Amino acid sequence: MIDKIFEFGLKDIFSSSPAEYVTIKDALEGKLKIRLNNNFYHEIKKDEVERLSGKIPLYLWSLVKIPFIFIKSPDIGEYFISGEQWNRKAISILLGREISNVILNVDVEKLLREYTSLIFIILSSTRSYTEETELSEM
Per-residue pLDDT tens over the stretch 6-58: 555 555 555 678 999 999 999 999 999 999 998 899 999 999 999 999 999 99
Instruction: State how far Cα 73 lies from the chain centre.
Output: 14
Q: What is the mean pLDDT of the chain?
A: 86
Q: What is the DSSP letter of 83?
A: S
Burial 81-104 (b: 16+ CB within 10 A, else e): bbbeebbbbbbebbeeeebeeebe
Q: For residues 40 and 25, what is the distance between their CA atoms, to the nearest angstrom?
A: 23
Confidence of residue 104 (pLDDT cuts 50, 70, 90): very high
* Alpha-carbon distance values, 64 to 39, 45, 87, 126 (Å): 23, 16, 5, 27
Confidence of residue 66 (pLDDT cuts 50, 70, 90): very high
Q: For residues 34 and 39, what is the distance between their CA atoms, to the nearest angstrom?
A: 10
List, in sequence order, every residue forming a beta bridge with 33; answer none if it has no partner: 43
Q: What is the pTM of this model?
A: 0.80
Could you count the other beta carbons within 10 Å of the beta carbon of residue 106? 10
The pLDDT value recorded for residue 128 is 45
Residue 126, pLDDT above cutoff 90: no
